[in-house]
Amino acid sequence: MGIRTKLSGNEAVSVAFKQINPDVVAAYPITPSTEVPQFFSTYAANGEVETEFVPVESEHSAMSACIGAQAAGGRSMTATSAQGLALMWEMLYIASAYRLPINMAVINRALSGPINIHCDHSDSMGARDSGWLQIYSEDCQEAYDNFIQAVRISEHPDVMLPAMTCFDGFITSHKVENLELMEDAEVQKFVGKYKPPYHLMDKEKPMSMGPLSLPFHYFESKRQQAEAMRGSIKAILEVAAEFEKVTGRKYGLFEEYQMADAEVAIVILNSTAGTAKDVVDELRAKGVKAGLLKIRVFRPFPVEQIVAALAKCKAVAVLDRADSVNAAGGPVFTDVTSAMFGRVDGVKVINYIYGLGGRDVKTDDIKVVYNELLEVVKTGKVKEVYNYLGVREV
């Protein structure tokens, strides 16, 4: 039986930290992620966990401490946002190259500059090719559920890669919602004990980490990382199926909302999906065959599954809360269109950059997108592929 309560996204994830009871949590505060380690430090101070809580001097140090702990055979976790994630950049690649299943909550915030503490996805999208799994969350319940599942996924013997559980700064991190927690014992049973296949403290199998890798070996190690990332889709679905048996809550690689017969659809991730669902419901009531595909797993990118979900649509809009500044489209758009190229014919795809720096996204904004899609279907023509939503043009 689950525990019904109301918590903010940050507090819900800090509870997940506590229930998992990792060996090490190393963290440095940065808005809007600060509350996650702050709440957890209280649990540690009160003796509610056996975790070694390490308050470090920077986010670079936080990830370095997590790498050291995980390399020594421990389970380690942290949380960060924006510039904090950027300061970890070097160590993100080290963690994934060493195949260390560190888990991190990334509370999405715009990267400076200009300085901004509000939500967009420029931080985690910038790290999309660092070799970390990336799982995105619409609301507080999903943030809690995704973090617990991410531990199992990242530690799967066929994966052994670090994982980011992402959710929107302030919109989800500080919003209080009703949600259902698992019992502590259930979480402990679900994640199990961390049993790494190798670690530095194993005297029976001595090893080293961080050796120089010259051209003769480097390429093969990166190829193995890439194969583990691609192969993690199976583990993600296996863990989701087991999670559903325990909680009754169903997860996949993405959520299809009213997609069975959709002619026009939006592809989106995180909290704005909830706003878009309201618009879909309104359009459906008027007889418009509108749908929505909410990406949950962005790394690995589920190419075949997303293509199959969008193949029957006539027009699709991909919404990006980050701009690649490349004249080709945002990061989600370029991945979606790359996946569809050569696999699907006749589907018109357009891109909207939206919500940068925490700009509000309302139902009227989403209606603009669907109206444009309906116009594309009617005329068969796309006016602009690369668009901005809700910006004051000058």
Q: In which element (H, E) is residue 254 found?
A: strand 254-257
pLDDT band at 361 (very low <50, low <70, confident <90, very high): very high
- What whole-number percentage of the chain has pLDDT above 70? 99
Residues of the chain with CATH 3.40.50.970: 3-247
**pLDDT higher than threshold 80 for residue 1:** no
Give the integer Cα–Cα distance in Å for 270 and 200: 37
108-167 confidence digits (pLDDT tens): 999 999 999 999 999 999 999 999 999 999 999 999 999 999 999 999 999 999 999 999
| Backbone region of residue 336 per phi and psi (left: phi > 0; alpha: psi in -120 to 50; beta: other values) | alpha
pTM over 0.85: yes
Domain 3-247 has CATH 3.40.50.970: yes
**pLDDT higher than threshold 80 for residue 356:** yes
DSSP state of 345: -
Q: State the architecture of 254-389 in CATH terms.
A: 3-Layer(aba) Sandwich (3.40)
pLDDT at 327: 87
8-34 confidence digits (pLDDT tens): 999 999 999 999 999 999 999 999 999
pLDDT at 382: 97
pLDDT band at 354 (very low <50, low <70, confident <90, very high): very high
Residues of the chain with CATH 3.40.50.920: 254-389
97-109 confidence digits (pLDDT tens): 999 999 999 999 9
310-323 confidence digits (pLDDT tens): 999 999 999 999 99
pLDDT band at 211 (very low <50, low <70, confident <90, very high): confident
**pLDDT higher than threshold 80 for residue 205:** yes
pLDDT band at 52 (very low <50, low <70, confident <90, very high): very high
Give the integer Cα–Cα distance in Å for 41 and 47: 10
Average pLDDT over residues 292-310: 98
Please name which of 325, 326, 5 lies closest in space to residue 177, comparing C-alpha atoms.
5
| Residue type present at position 5 | T
Looking at the chain, how many residues does it have? 394
